[in-house]
Amino acid sequence: MRNTPSRNRPTAKEAMPSFDFLIIGAGAAGLRAALGLAPLGRVAVLSKGEATDSASDWAQGGIAAVTDFVRDSIAAHVADTLAAGGGLCHPERVEAIVAAGPAVIEELAGWGVPFDREHGSWQLTREGGHGTRRVLHVADHTGAAITRTLLAQVYRENQIRIFPHTMALDLIRDDERCLGAWVLDAQGRIKAFTARAVVLASGGAGQVYQHSSSPRGANGDGLAMAWRAGAALANLEFIQFHPTTLYDPGQPAFLLSEALRGEGARLRLPGGEAFLEKYDERAELAPRDVVARAMAMEMRQRGIQHLCLDIHEQDCERIRRHFPGIYAHCQKRGYDLCREAVPVVPAAHYTCGGIVTDPSGQTTLPGLYAAGEAAWTGLHGANRLASNSLLECLVTARAIATHLAGLATLPAAASVVPAKPDILPALPADVAHERGRALQHLMWTQVGILRRQAELQRAMEQLTQWLEEDALAATGIAVEITHNAFRNRLQCAWLMTRGALARHESRGCHYDADHPNPHQPPEDLIQCLGSAQPERRPIGAADADASVARTLPSAASGTTR
């Protein structure tokens, strides 16, 4: 899809889409935000693909929330979240989000999410890092069940309009606030969507890596757009690697849910030996960072390409009933979970850092909000607790709507068509594809599960060279789809690697063999456009307030100037 400036420049005769609220992303966070904002005005929801194409839709395991107050408690869920986060969670944020969990479940169930039940109660599973069973699920397709239910509610709202196959290219801002976004619509036209408030709910950046459980569109679009617009980002070096994806060279990674290990699956060496106990007494139920790192170390030491996940000793009917999608997919790939161990490898799964937000979802750029995986909320710290992501999506999206509803007034949407920024010369599609594969390989081998300073430095040099060679750090928007995806991935990779180089310690998902111990006190690393190095902030000082936003630089692209 190629576009020229002359053909696509908005004119006075071409209606500029103007809404009260613009939401970029149609996953759980975006849809829940839309439902909360619909009573306040007209809402536009942009989806790069179909409305069902989101990382939320791929979530297998479930949603963590306290519903059994006899065997569980809010305090216990908070404690497990803090322990998994490696000392980098913000306790007050954790407490607020976890405390909202029961109400979220009640809301979802009221809307019709068919959570599995057993003997009249919610059927709860246990996953890595959780001290008890507290994860609600819909077989092994919980995310899809939740997003389909939210979509059904959205389609009932006359105030909400979903724009499928519509891609946000860059944010529009003036000297004071975010005004909207430059968008490539389904017909290949560039349009300015303006709104009184913009919500980035565009997911993470898993596709920066060669092996990833994320959808193909998880390019870090929102992260890169927010950075170019001058918003602060935090802790992007913490990329969570899910321990178990099916090893099948040449095929896309397929996630094997954490819940399998919660139901008794064991990780084994190819010869059948269990090994996790020597790394952590919780073995298969240790947090993801511990398990993925142990797997990577064993594979590196032994020179092997995969390990094995074994659940065949468990009841076969229970496996088929609880994990129908996983069982069917493994059979399609030639494996029977009921009869044999299956080969597995870790894969990039979740971006624990993100766009800095305060408890109401506000970023450091006025008028811009963020929710879900795109946002840094302080919940996950250095490593996300399993199944806390859907909880965070829904709680933070609700918080944005509550905040905006409580404002006495909202700024009016821009009424004048902004001057379109320059369009970057298109990077040929074959070059973008080739560079994209090289980028993913570089990040997997040099900025992966096990890191070293020398490898990080080499990666940084190559990433910087690519940015400079292709003018991908320049002002302007990239309108060719492959070019845009590569640019966003590259900028996210550069920010991730810069953060990893600056964090001279090992903590959570970030393991630096040259600095194997954590530093005290824990610090967030804040990155803003134009900053020479990440800024270190003690825990509690990274909220989206005036201290972080004291010097908002001009946007790199998408301005009204």
Superfamily of domain 16-59+142-238+352-410+418-554: FAD/NAD(P)-binding domain (3.50.50.60)
CA distance 26 to 265: 33
Q: In angstroms, rounded to a whole number, what is the distance separating the alpha carbons of residues 99 and 104?
A: 10
| One-letter identity of residue 413 | A
Report the top-level CATH class of 243-346.
alpha beta
CB atoms within 10 A of CB 4: 11
Give the total residue count for the chain. 561
> Which residues on neighbouring strands pair with residue 356, listed in sequence order?
376
- Active-site residue (options: 32, 173, 266, 288): 288
Would you call 7 a catalytic residue per the annotation?
no
Note the pTM of the prediction, 2 decimals. 0.92
In DSSP notation, 449-512 reads SEE-HHHHHHHHHHHHHHHHHTTTTSSSB--SHHHHHHHHHHHHHHHHHHHHHH--S-BTTBEE
* Beta partners for residue 135, in sequence order: 64, 125
In angstroms, rounded to a whole number, what is the distance separating the alpha carbons of residues 461 and 494?
9
Asked, colleague to colleague, whether 16-59+142-238+352-410+418-554 and 243-346 share their fold, the answer is: no
If one counts every other C-beta atom within 10 angstroms of the C-beta of residue 188, the result is 14
Amino acid letter, residue 46? L
Task: Please answer whether residues 200 and 225 qualify as being in contact, where contact means their C-beta atoms are separated by less than 8 angstroms.
Answer: yes
- d(C-alpha 243, C-alpha 308), whole Å: 11
DSSP 187-212: TS-EEEEEEEEEEE-----GGGSSSB
What three-state secondary structure class fits 379? coil
Q: 361, 260, 366: which is closest to 310 by C-alpha?
A: 260
At 300, phi and psi to the nearest 5? Answer: -65, -45
Instruction: Please give the Cα distance from 417 to 181 (Å, whole number).
Output: 12
Q: Which sequence spans correspond to the domains of the chain? A: 16-59+142-238+352-410+418-554, 243-346
Largest CA distance in the chain: 70
Tens digits of pLDDT across the chain (561 residues): 333 333 334 433 345 778 999 999 999 999 999 999 999 999 999 999 887 676 676 667 799 999 999 999 999 999 999 999 999 999 999 999 999 999 999 999 999 999 999 988 999 999 999 999 999 999 989 999 999 999 999 999 999 999 999 999 999 999 999 999 999 998 999 999 999 999 999 999 999 999 999 988 999 999 999 999 999 999 999 999 999 999 998 888 899 998 999 999 999 999 999 999 999 999 999 999 999 999 999 999 999 999 999 998 899 999 999 999 999 999 999 999 999 999 999 999 999 999 999 999 999 999 999 999 999 999 999 999 999 999 999 999 999 999 999 997 888 887 776 787 888 888 888 888 999 999 999 999 999 999 999 999 999 999 999 998 866 666 788 888 999 999 999 999 999 999 999 999 999 999 999 999 998 899 999 999 988 899 999 886 555 443 444 333 333 444 433
Distance CA 409, CA 396 (A): 21
Beta strand residue intervals within 129-218, DSSP E: 135-136, 160-163, 167-173, 178-184, 190-200
Residue 426 burial class via C-beta count within 10 angstroms: exposed 0-12, middle 13-18, buried 19 and up: middle
Q: Count the neighbouring beta carbons within 10 Å of the beta carbon of residue 437.
A: 11
The tokens describing 370, both together, are: 């963020």
- Asked if 144 contacts 154 with a C-beta cutoff of 8 angstroms, the reply is no
Backbone angles phi, psi at 376, to 5 degrees: -100, 115
